[in-house]
């Protein structure tokens, strides 16, 4: 009873505060709805970045992968901080200077409208089949594990799964469809505070249990008895996340996600000025370095506590089981509300970005170039509604037999490498042509799909024969390879079919472009800390 009340109280409080903060905002202009009127400040940007990225696929998925493997999976978080430094000092200043609303807008400005349409469709496709459904599925799995919803309601787990996916999807849609980016960002920030407090509380309580009331003693016990779990390099044959991928596909993945992915970078595009954008991104980068304490360490602790009762195929139960074991009953509802808030934040953020992409990349250029602000907002809301329904229908059908987090990354990688190659070609060279960019956007995903999914067994066998590889080649290496192949293809097509360089420049940036004075110092701390983590945990 207490758990249920605390769950509904926190969830309702977030909604009430988001409404109160945005109650006087009018969502009747495109800039207000899609970019929060370019009014976002640093802490709102930082909170929204964190909660757009972190959700139950991290709490349950990465902790589950750490349960089955090692802390090497924290590379998804630690290397992100380096990419965020790059975003703050190179990419975001360029985006703000030309007043972008979406990343495909840059492609239209640099290349042509065809490139924008194809890039927009690739973004929307990846959102609908990967990010949105997986976020809902993890959210439903977390609630079932914590509350035994099926047992409480007297229905099957499958029915409970559908019910929770529907509930979370409907609630998350309200923020994005009704409130626009500002409501999304405000709710993200509030949920971010709850997420940080609650998620860091779990490892502290768990280590206290292991150490009989002494947290440091518990950490020493886990580190000593499960020492092999703390190898951050993961450098062994057939590794779940080998160290070598940090220098190939992981670079491509992180630079794309944190520097060019619409659902992430849109928070910075809505910044009041460059200073607030840089400050927000770098604050979020610091949080990314702290995140492994909440989304990796508990998985290792769960292995120490439950390795005799939970098998590898039950990895998704590792984190929820730990939570139920160590969390006091009065706090269970609050923690569940935080989990749901994390799901809502990611879900509604992606929906808002999808609406922006659809409006700028499909609706206006293809259907209503003369659409007024009201029509644009309506089109964005329609897109969000369609994608939300699609995600709700797809989520319960996803196979949970393997790592859901890796499933998500593999689907995303199909598009990430080629799109980053095209974007960088547009930024770094004047010779890349529109025809070459369009070729890369279409051919790149097809190449990755055939390498990683269709002919993977044959390619793995070929790699073993040519290079003496033990175990499978990690898909992130393929991501790096496809990025290079796409870049090469762009260079060849541009050479064979050259075209004059054209780009439209704004007379002045729409926001103040004065950088944050402490940005360089904070960036240096972030880089040094990241390197120190790898040096300390390398075995």
Determine the pLDDT at residue 22. 60
Residue with tokens 């499958």: 158
Distance CA 330, CA 145 (A): 17
Residue with tokens 């047992």: 151
Determine the pLDDT at residue 26. 56
The tokens for 361 are 């990349």
221 and 63 Cβ atoms separated by less than 8 Å: no
Determine the pLDDT at residue 18. 65
Write the CB contacts of 243 (distance below 8 Å, at least 6 apart in sequence). 72, 233, 234, 235
- Taken as a whole, the chain contains a residue count of 539
Distance CA 412, CA 296 (A): 21
168 and 139 Cβ atoms separated by less than 8 Å: yes
Determine the pLDDT at residue 34. 57
Secondary structure of residue 14 in the 3-state scheme: helix
Per-residue H/E/C for 336-387? HHHHHHHHHHHHHHHHHHHHHHHHHHHHHHHHCCCCCHHHHHHHHHHHHHHH
Per-residue H/E/C for 399-464? CCCCCHHHHHHHHHHHHHHHHHHHHHHHHHCCCCCHHHHHHHHHHHHHHHHHHHHHCHHHHHHHHH
Determine the pLDDT at residue 88. 97
Determine the pLDDT at residue 178. 62
> Which DSSP string do the residues of 119-150 spell out, in sequence order?
HHHHHHHHIIIIIHHHHHHHHHHHHHHHH-HH
Residue 125 burial by CB count (10 A; 0-12/13-18/19+): exposed, middle or buried? middle
- Domains, the chain, in order of start with CATH, read 2-408 (1.20.1730.10)
Kindly give the parts of the chain with pLDDT less than 70: 1-4, 6, 10-11, 14-15, 17-37, 146, 175-188, 235-239, 399-405, 467-470, 504-507, 539
């Amino acid at each position: 009873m207490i758990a249920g009340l605390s769950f509904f109280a926190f969830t309702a409080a977030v909604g009430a505060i988001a409404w109160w903060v945005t109650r006087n905002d009018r969502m009747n202009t495109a800039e207000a709805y899609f970019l929060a009127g370019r009014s976002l400040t640093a802490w709102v940007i930082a909170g929204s970045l964190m909660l757009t990225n972190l959700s139950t696929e991290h709490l349950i998925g990465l902790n589950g992968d750490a349960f089955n493997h090692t802390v090497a999976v924290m590379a998804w978080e630690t290397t992100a901080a380096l990419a965020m430094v790059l975003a703050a000092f190179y990419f975001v200043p360029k985006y703000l200077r030309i007043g972008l609303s979406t990343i495909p807008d840059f492609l239209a400005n640099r290349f042509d409208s065809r490139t924008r349409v194809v890039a927009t469709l690739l973004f929307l496709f990846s959102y609908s089949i990967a990010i949105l459904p997986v976020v809902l599925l993890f959210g439903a799995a977390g609630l079932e594990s914590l509350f035994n919803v099926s047992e409480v309601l007297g229905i099957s787990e499958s029915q409970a799964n559908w019910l929770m996916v529907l509930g979370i999807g409907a609630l998350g849609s309200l923020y994005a469809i009704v409130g626009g980016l500002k409501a999304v960002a405000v709710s993200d920030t509030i949920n971010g505070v709850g997420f940080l407090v609650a998620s860091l509380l779990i490892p502290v309580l768990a280590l206290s249990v292991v150490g009989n009331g002494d947290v440091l003693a518990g950490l020493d016990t886990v580190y000593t008895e499960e020492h092999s779990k703390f190898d951050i390099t993961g450098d062994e044959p057939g590794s779940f996340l080998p160290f070598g991928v940090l220098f190939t596909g992981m670079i491509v993945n992180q630079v794309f996600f944190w520097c060019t992915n619409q659902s992430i970078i849109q928070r910075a595009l809505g910044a009041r000025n460059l200073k607030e954008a840089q400050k927000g991104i770098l604050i979020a980068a610091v949080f990314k370095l702290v995140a492994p304490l909440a989304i990796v360490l508990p998985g290792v602790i769960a292995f120490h506590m439950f390795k005799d009762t939970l098998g590898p195929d039950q990895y998704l139960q590792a984190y929820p089981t730990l939570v139920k074991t160590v969390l006091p009953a009065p706090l269970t509802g609050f923690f569940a509300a935080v989990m749901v808030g994390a799901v809502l934040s990611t879900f509604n953020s992606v929906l808002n970005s999808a609406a922006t992409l659809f409006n700028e990349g499909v609706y206006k250029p293809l259907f209503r170039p003369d659409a007024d602000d009201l029509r644009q907002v309506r089109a964005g809301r329609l897109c969000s509604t369609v994608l939300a329904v699609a995600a709700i229908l797809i989520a319960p059908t996803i196979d949970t037999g393997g790592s859901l987090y890796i499933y998500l990354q593999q689907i995303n990688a199909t598009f990430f490498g080629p799109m980053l190659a095209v974007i960088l070609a547009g930024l770094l060279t004047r010779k890349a042509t529109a025809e070459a960019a369009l070729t890369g956007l279409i051919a790149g995903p097809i190449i990755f799909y055939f390498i990683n999914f269709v002919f993977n067994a044959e390619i793995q066998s070929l790699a073993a024969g040519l290079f003496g590889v033990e175990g499978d080649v990690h898909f992130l290496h393929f991501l790096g390879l496809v990025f290079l192949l796409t870049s090469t293809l762009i260079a060849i097509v541009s050479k064979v079919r050259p075209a004059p360089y054209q780009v439209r420049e704004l007379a002045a940036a729409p926001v103040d472009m004065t950088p944050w004075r402490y940005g360089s110092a904070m960036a240096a701390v972030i880089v040094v800390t990241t390197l120190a983590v790898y040096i300390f945990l390398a075995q």
